[in-house]
Chains A and B, each alone.
Chain A
Amino acid sequence: MTLRLDRADIQGNVLLPYGRNTFPIGHLLLFHCDRTALQEQVGAGPRQWLARLLPHVTSGELFASKRTDASLPKPPQLTLNVAFTCSGLAVFGVPASTISQLPPEFQEGMRARSALLNDDTQLWDPVWKEDGEGASIDLLIQLRVNFARALDQIYERQCREGDRDATNPGKAAYHKPFIFEKARRLALRRLERRSQNLIDSAARHGLRVLRGHGPSGEGEAANRYWQVMESIPRTRSEDGVLGGDGDPRHVRYAEYEHFGFFDGIADPVFEGQYPPELQAEKVIGQGRLQRGAWQPLPAGEFLLGYPDQAQEMPALPVPAAFSRNGTFLVVRKLHQDVAAFERATAAQLPAFQAWLGPPAAVRAGSTAPAPATPAAPARGPDHADAREQARLLLRAKLVGRWDDGTPLTVAPTYSDWQAFRREHQTLRERSDAGDLGAKEALQHLLQRLRDVRYEPDDSAGSRCPFTAHIRRSNPRDSGDPSLSDQPTDEERQRASSLLANRRRLLRRAMSYGPRWCPVPEAADPIAACRDDGQERGTLFMALCSGLFRQFEFMQQQWLNYGSDFGAGNDVCPISGVADRVDPATGSKLIINADAASHRPPFVLRPAAAVQCRGGAYFFVPSLTALRLIAQGMVDPI
């Protein structure tokens, strides 16, 4: 029998991410509960505040969207979600007998476990260090604002003021840069007003907002009350979206992170997460692979109170009502040094280009003659010069996907990628024009994009390197231990995702900080990669039912260590923490050539461009548990 989750009891953003187009801007606030004030009020103050906040907490019920039923309620103006650290639970009066049953990694917190995660807490922002003003982080509040609604309102206002036709705006007209900017400011104003309200009301109940979401020092950053999260706006031409009725200069929020890669593609699908009619489509490439078919992962991998992949119940503090439908949240502020990343790529590009050979053979590790140039004329972004082609391939080898998210397993060469993009573009245009056949073909094409498998076509890692970011953070069927020593291709086709099933994370990351731009007047590509000193990066947020088994294992064993992939102690080329002192003894990425080509591999020294600037583990209670906490009724008996 299919599992039906009580969506209204689970906090929003757990079952499904808030769309990055609808909710691209958010705030993250951290609160500390004043212990002395608490002694006088015996927890009543913060609890009262929580009780008043309860009706505003966004649940996991579905909103109306393109993919869901239009009769569903509209997305709210603002979403609000609450999570507690271990000390926070204690302050809010959760009994010690319940807290002691929570897993030790949660009780200890991320800072205490920084050695295991290879983090240097000296680099952390004051707010995460918990030593600024002697305050521990007790409570997290996440706010996300509805940008689509702001865009609607601004557009309508423009129409009223001007002579534009408000009845049939056409989607593209929304994204004119000045409309976009006005809507952005409106959304930010709303968000700031709400945050300020929260801070004021919390202060009246003995909860103090923590400052210092930025580097240490006396500057403005040290006093920031909240961490702003904002997706990166991009123009249509940058995304390579051509054709249609849109202006290429139009701006919109995109799911690209700061290094310039399409982000957040692999997000696990588990039982009950989607309505049954959507599940069969969504599960492809995102569930668990068994005998060549994709199945949803068990709900217990991501929610407490349900059996997990091993058919066991994850650690479950009593009372069951407290833990059921709750989950754990990992928050990590990951600073991205884009200049260093680009500099390392630019510096090694000539060597990589020489390794690839003449431009005709710019193929992912293959010296076989490239197929004849496609009939399309050689111009526009489709036909970048050889250097640009090599640069894009080098970037793709680091991640395992091309910039726009097309996996290397599907399009191993630049020309394959361009052919794939053209096909996608043509099918989308025809599909938009009402061609049903094209619509079906487009669905099939998008399915190929998600259905990433490494067996049997890429067993040797000549398309996607074994230690590329996506292959090591989610190996899928790669390295399936149930295969025999010398598996045949038929056996490989039945490879399962045994290795990865218990290490998956629901990813809810957001970007922060302005976009990095190269120095325009620089003499050479390396000189153009200058750090502008700005703060930017990814606010990594992940949900799982076992912090140690899922998040910490992945971070320690797969991202910061390469033994499982036969790569010794090489770290992840994107998010691993490597030696910053001497790159020559630091980590490397081995890019294999096609085995038949008799060429040695290319050794790339990636920049250690990602640095953790803070983080913590949180418990995300269900709505029932929030009520129990607010009423002081968590009774362990």
Chain B
Amino acid sequence: MPSFDSGYYAFTALIPLLPAETDRRIWGWTNRPTSLVHSLRELLGSLPTVDVPDAGDGPAGGVRPIPFSGCARTHFARLVVVEELAWNGREGCDTLIELLKGALGWPDRQPIDRLPRPYLLVMLDFDATDGGSASVENYLNGLWSSLEQEWTLILRHCSGFDLAPQRRRQSYVELLLRHEIDSTFTYTGYGWAAQQAGLWDPETGRFRQPAAASPPPGLQLLILWSGLVLCLLLGPLLVWLVNQVAQALAWLLHPLQPMLDHLLLPGSQLWLSWTPLPLPILWRWLLLLGGLLLLLPLLWNGFYGSAFHPWPAEPGTDLRSVLKALYLQGRFLELTEQRQHQQASGTPSFRRQFRAFLEETQPNDRDAPTLRPGSIEAIRRNPRP
């Protein structure tokens, strides 16, 4: 699966941290003596993650802005320090073989993988039009403008970041791009919901059957091409193999010929015309095998590459649409409740009311009015009286 899929770019990078012995004046951001990893973790932990209006004792609207909410394309951002690989213990093995190894004095230690130094894992899910590096660069540059201070503080713990003020931006983009790895298995939850919403038929009150999903064009071509090759290759091979087997059987049954002649097939001589493996047939075998061996890597490459063809974006799943949808849901609930109470005590024009609702909420305008990124308004308050 590619990093870019269904209209999202799932950016993953593993950036090595500075060597442990680096002077702490380079990376330290507090006066307390801490380790490099501790310092970075403390910094990440201090970044506000979500803004819950009215929650807790703080003033409404949150105390500090959420760093990543400045960019209305970021769905999720995760920054994690990976210190060491987890070791899952020894792999199971045969007791008898172990016993033998022990008897022979062979070492029975299994290798343990280690990281040469800690890494910073950066995962950013954002809306993108294509998977090109220019697109990623564009996004990262946009992120820098609202997060310059945070990125600087974070990346000064990393190897290869240039702290000179005029080169910081360029260095940040290069560092992230240089250490990017493929996001081989991404998951997004909105696509299914958006697809369901598109399939809802208000006339019948049921969901329509979705049109059969067609694979992206690149994959279609590959399937066609590999199918053709397989038919051309396997067809004659199959015929030839059946022929060989039949002839071999006949050869085996050779000694029984007089009896069979007499009983079943009087006068038949044709089916015994095969003779044991002459050299040319062996050559033919070798040629075929050689051809196959050459073709297999080609086929595998084509198959593997086809997985990098992104699926098309589902309309209405970019962050702006999602925020607008959540906003509309909340406002519509308010309208419904307001309407319920009015119905019980006399009915003003619903048409007028709905028009006012449309004018206020502007359903077609994704940008305003809407919810602020990073803010969760639907979280229940503390139940303390």
- Is B384 located at the chain interface by the 8 A CB criterion? yes
Determine if B91 is an interface residue (Cβ-Cβ < 8 Å). no
Residues of B within 8 A of A571 (CB): 380
B343 touches A601 (CB 8 A): no
Q: Are the CB atoms of B379 and A569 closer together than 8 Å?
A: yes
1/0 per position for A465-496, CB-CB distance to B under 8 A? 00000000000000000000110000000000
> A351 with B340: in contact, given A568-B378, A569-B379, A594-B205 (CB under 8 Å)?
yes
Which residues of chain B have C-beta atoms less than 8 A from A588's C-beta?
333
Q: Which residues in chain B, 301-360, are within 8 Å of chain A measured between CB atoms? A: 333, 336-337, 339-341, 343-345
Given A578-B380, A580-B383, A603-B337, answer yes or no on A350-B204 (Cβ-Cβ < 8 Å): no
- In the complex, B381 has a CB within 8 A of chain A: yes
In the complex, which residues of chain A have a beta carbon less than 8 angstroms from the beta carbon of B199? 486
Task: Determine the chain A residues whose CB is within 8 A of the CB of B378 once the complex forms.
Answer: 568-569
B206 sits at the interface (CB 8 A):
yes
Residues of B within 8 A of A120 (CB): 383-384
B383 to A351, Cβ gap below 8 A? no
A118 x B337 contact (CB < 8 A): no
Chain A residues with CB under 8 Å of B192's CB are: 485
> A residues 597-618 with Cβ under 8 Å of B?
598, 600-603, 605, 608
Residues of B within 8 A of A15 (CB): none
Tell me, rounded to whole Å, the shortest Cβ–Cβ distance linking A119 to chain B.
9
Interface string of A542-582 (1 = CB under 8 A from B): 00000000000000000000000000110100000111111
Please name all residues of chain B whose beta carbon is closer than 8 Å to the beta carbon of A587 when the two chains form the complex: 380
What is the minimal beta-carbon distance from A571 to any residue of chain B, in angstroms? 8
User: Which residue in chain A gives the minimum CB-CB distance to B192?
Assistant: A485
Q: In the assembly, what is the distance between CA of A63 and CA of B202, in Å?
A: 57
Q: Determine the distance from Cα of A120 to Cα of B381 in the docked complex, in whole angstroms.
A: 13
CB-contacts of B148-206 with A (<8 A): 192, 196, 199, 202, 204-206
B383 touches A353 (CB 8 A): no
Interface assignment of B278: CB less than 8 Å from any CB of chain A: no
Cα-based distance from A596 to B201 in the complex (angstroms): 10
Q: Does A71 contact B (CB under 8 A)?
A: no
Contact, CB under 8 Å: A460 / B336: no
* Chain B, Cβ-Cβ closest to A488: B209
In the complex, the answer to whether A578 meets B207 with C-beta atoms within 8 Å is: no
Given the interface contacts A486-B210, A587-B380, does A351 sit within 8 Å of B341 by beta carbon?
yes
Does B116 belong to the interface (CB within 8 Å)?
no
Smallest CB–CB gap between A392 and chain B, Å?
A: 18
The answer to whether B340 and A596 touch across the interface, beta carbons within 8 angstroms, is no
Distance (Å) between the CB of B162 and the closest chain A CB? Answer: 45
Q: Do the beta carbons of A581 and B385 come within 8 Å of each other?
A: yes
Closest chain A residue, CB of each to CB of B379 = A569
Q: Which residue of A lies closest to B377 (CB)?
A: A585
Q: For A603, what are the chain B residues with a Cβ–Cβ distance below 8 Å? A: 333, 336-337, 340
B380 & A596 in contact (Cβ 8 Å cutoff) = no
Closest to A587 in B: B380
Residues in B whose Cβ lies below 8 Å from that of A581: 381, 385
A350 adjacent to B207 (CB under 8 Å): no
A95 and B204 CA atoms in complex are apart in Å by: 65
Give chain A nearest CB distance to B375 CB in angstroms. Answer: 15
Residues on B with C-beta less than 8 A from A49 are: none
Question: In the complex, A577→B382 CA distance in Å?
Answer: 10
Which residue of chain B is the closest to A585 with respect to CB atoms? B381
Task: Answer whether residue A18 sits at the interface, using C-beta atoms and an 8 A cutoff.
Answer: no
Q: Which residues B6-30 have CB closer than 8 A to chain A?
A: none
Question: Does A523 belong to the interface (CB within 8 Å)?
Answer: no
Complex formed: what's the CA distance from A630 to B384 in Å?
43
How far, in angstroms, from A122 to B383 measured CA to CA in the complex? Answer: 12
Whether A315 is near chain B, meaning CB under 8 Å from some CB there, is no
Q: Are A579 and B383 neighbours in the complex by a CB distance under 8 Å?
A: yes
**Is the CB–CB distance between B204 and A596 below 8 Å?**
yes
CA distance A118 to B379 in the complex (A): 14
Inter-chain contact B202/A598, CB cutoff 8 Å: yes
Q: How large is the interface on B (under 10, 10 to 19, 20 to 34, 35 or more residues)?
A: 20 to 34
Say whether B205 contacts A595, CB under 8 Å: yes
Do the beta carbons of A486 and B381 come within 8 Å of each other?
no
Contact of A540 with B by CB under 8 A: no
Q: Which residue of B lies closest to A487 (CB)?
A: B207
Q: Is the CB of A579 within 8 A of B205?
A: no
Q: In the complex, what distance in Å separates the CA atom of A460 from the CA atom of B201?
A: 13
335-359 of chain A: CB within 8 A of chain B: 350-355
Which residues 105-150 of B have a CB within 8 angstroms of A? none
Check A350/B345 contact, CB under 8 A, given A355-B340, A601-B336, A603-B333.
yes
The docked-state distance in angstroms from the alpha carbon of A603 to that of B339 is 10
**Residue in A closest to B209 when the chains form the complex, CB atoms:** A486
**Interchain CA distance A577-B383 in the complex, whole Å:** 7
A467, B199: Cα distance in complex, Å: 24
CB pair A355 B380 closer than 8 Å: no
In the bound assembly, the distance between CA atoms of A617 and B383 in angstroms comes to: 23
A271 to B234, CA, bound (A): 56
**B340 & A602 in contact (Cβ 8 Å cutoff):** yes
Rounded to whole Å, the gap between the CB of A196 and the closest CB of chain B is 37
Q: Which residues of A contact B343 (CB under 8 A)?
A: 351, 354-355
Closest to B202 in A: A598
What is the bound-complex CA distance between A584 and B55, given in angstroms? 16
Residue of B nearest to A595 (CB): B205
Smallest CB separation, B254 vs chain A (Å):
56
Contact among A122, A354, A582 for B344, CB-based, below 8 A: A354
A588 to B202, CA, bound (A): 24
Residues of B within 8 A of A585 (CB): 54, 381
CB distance from A343 to the nearest CB of B (A): 16
Please give the distance in Å from B39's CB to the nearest CB on chain A: 31
Q: Of B205, B341, B380, B383, which one neighbours A460 at CB under 8 angstroms?
A: B205
A386 to chain B, nearest CB (A): 13
Q: Which residues of B contact A594 (CB under 8 A)?
A: 205
B344 — which chain A residues lie within 8 A by C-beta?
350-351, 353-354
Which listed residue, B210, B345, B383, B385, touches A118 by the CB 8 Å rule? Answer: B383
Within 8 A of A (CB), among B267-308: none
Contact with B along A50-74 (1 / 0, CB 8 A): 0000000000000000000000000
Docked complex Cα distance between A351 and B341 (Å)? 5
Of chain A, the residue at the smallest CB distance from B332 is A600
| B381→A579 contact, CB < 8 A | yes
Contacts of B54 in A (CB 8 A): 585
Cβ-defined contact, B383 with A578, below 8 A: yes
Give the Cβ gap from B323 to chain A, nearest Cβ, in Å: 16
Across-interface contacts of A608 in B (CB, < 8 A) = 383
Closest to A608 in B: B383
Chain A residues near B336 (CB, 8 Å)? 600-601, 603
Q: How far is the CB of A212 from chain B (nearest CB, A)?
A: 21
Q: What B residues does A595 contact at CB under 8 A?
A: 204-206
A540, B321: Cα distance in complex, Å: 45
Residues of chain B contacted by A578 (CB below 8 angstroms): 380, 383
> Closest CB-CB distance, B312 to chain A, in whole Å?
18
Q: B34-77 CB contact bits vs A (8 Å, 1 = yes)? A: 00000000000000000000100000000000000000000000
Chain B residues within 8 Å of A122, by CB: 384
Of chain A, the residue at the smallest CB distance from B339 is A600
Tell me, in angstroms, the Cα distance from A602 to B381 when the chains sit together: 23
Q: Measured between C-beta atoms, what is the minimum distance from A344 to chain B in Å?
A: 14
Provide the residues of chain B in CB contact with A582, threshold 8 Å: 381
Query: What are the residues of chain B within 8 A of A579 when measuring CB–CB?
Result: 380-381, 383
> What would 5 more interface pairs be, CB under 8 Å, given A595-B205, A598-B202, A603-B336?
A351-B340, A580-B383, A581-B385, A585-B54, A585-B381
Q: Which residues of B come within 8 Å of A, CB atoms?
A: 54, 192, 196, 199, 202, 204-207, 209-210, 333, 336-337, 339-341, 343-345, 378-381, 383-385
- 25 A-B pairs, CB-CB below 8 angstroms? A118-B383, A350-B344, A351-B341, A351-B344, A354-B340, A354-B343, A355-B343, A485-B192, A485-B210, A486-B199, A569-B379, A577-B383, A578-B380, A579-B380, A579-B381, A581-B381, A587-B380, A588-B333, A594-B205, A595-B206, A596-B204, A596-B205, A598-B202, A603-B336, A605-B337
Which A-B residue pairs are the 9 nearest by beta carbons?
A: A595-B205, A350-B344, A354-B343, A351-B344, A351-B340, A354-B344, A596-B205, A603-B337, A569-B380
